[in-house]
Amino acid sequence: MLISTKGRYALRVMIDLAEHPSEGYIPLKIIAERQEISEKYLESIIKLLVKARFVSGLRGKGGGYRLTKSPEQYTVGSILRLTEESLAPVSCLEHGAVPCKRKDECRTLSLWQGLDRVITDYLEQITIADLLKTETCESHP
């Protein structure tokens, strides 16, 4: 599993919006400048976030984007599942994968299933609110 720039940037957008709640709707241009990410690339990411109703957008003067819920209600896992094709450690565990013909004899399947659970559980326990705290990496095992 390798998290793409789309997933990493989506997290940065969500954190940026969470850090500036008093600013109301924040223009994409401002987010792009603060995060040093191409505005054009962020457009594709923000579309995903709006479609999933993670953020809401407002057009025109005073427009931009803001979170639809509090930072505590967004997990890293939910954001990465939205942006990544898969978080599975091996292809046979990807959503919709054709069952492997060796499944019944596979000596490593339980290993990969366990790793998949660890990844999912870990990413689901960390919220955007947690990432706003500088000690997050140290506070989660």
Give 136's pLDDT tier (boundaries 50, 70, 90): very low
Kindly tell me if the per-residue pLDDT of 53 is higher than 90.
yes
First to last CA, the chain: 19
- Identify whether the C-beta of residue 108 lies closer than 8 Å to the C-beta of residue 91: no
Q: Which residues contact 52 (CB under 8 A, 6 or more apart)?
A: 82
> What is the mean pLDDT of the segment spanning 64-82?
96
Quick check: 128 pLDDT over 80?
yes
> How high does pLDDT run on average in the chain?
91
Collapsing DSSP to helix, strand or coil, 120 comes out as helix
The pLDDT tens digits for 29-42 are 999 999 999 999 99
Count of CB atoms within 10 A of residue 71's CB?
A: 18
Report the predicted TM-score, pTM, of the whole model to 2 decimal places: 0.86
